[in-house]
């Protein structure tokens, strides 16, 4: 009989998500420090894109918790 794998896929996907979210945020921070933000509308765009990984995380968490027994 084969043993079950002790790999926690949820933890692995969570780490991958945080790594990608970190790269996303780093990219936008670099974009901001290069001087691309010049007026208020660009600042609003910057802040909305900075919040995107956090919003996506809580939406995905909501759906994943819905499938647990």
CB 37, CB 43: distance < 8 Å: yes
Q: Is residue 13 part of a domain?
A: no
H-helix or E-strand spanning residue 26: helix 9-31
Number of domains in the chain: 1
Pick the closest to residue 50 from 30, 16, 31, 24 (CA basis).
24
Tell me: the pLDDT tens digits for 2-46?
Answer: 566 676 667 777 888 888 888 888 887 777 777 666 655 667 777
Residue 39, helix vs strand vs coil: coil
Q: Is residue 6 part of a domain?
A: no
Q: Is the per-residue pLDDT at 1 higher than 60?
A: no
pLDDT at residue 69 in the model: 62
Q: Is residue 61 part of a domain?
A: yes
Tokens standing for 62? 């909501």
pLDDT at residue 40 in the model: 57
pLDDT band at residue 59 using 50, 70 and 90 as cut-offs: confident
Predicted TM-score (pTM) of this structure: 0.57
CB 5, CB 37: distance < 8 Å: no
Domain that holds residue 32: 24-67
Q: Is residue 11 part of a domain?
A: no
What does the alpha-carbon distance between residue 8 and residue 52 come to, in Å, rounded to a whole number? 26
């Amino acid at each position: 009989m084969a043993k079950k794998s002790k790999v926690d896929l949820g933890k692995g996907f969570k780490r991958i998500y945080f790594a990608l979210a970190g790269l996303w945020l780093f990219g936008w921070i670099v974009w901001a420090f290069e001087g691309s933000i010049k007026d208020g509308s660009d600042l609003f765009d910057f802040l909305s894109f900075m919040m995107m990984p956090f919003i996506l995380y809580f939406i995905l968490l909501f759906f994943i918790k819905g499938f647990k027994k």
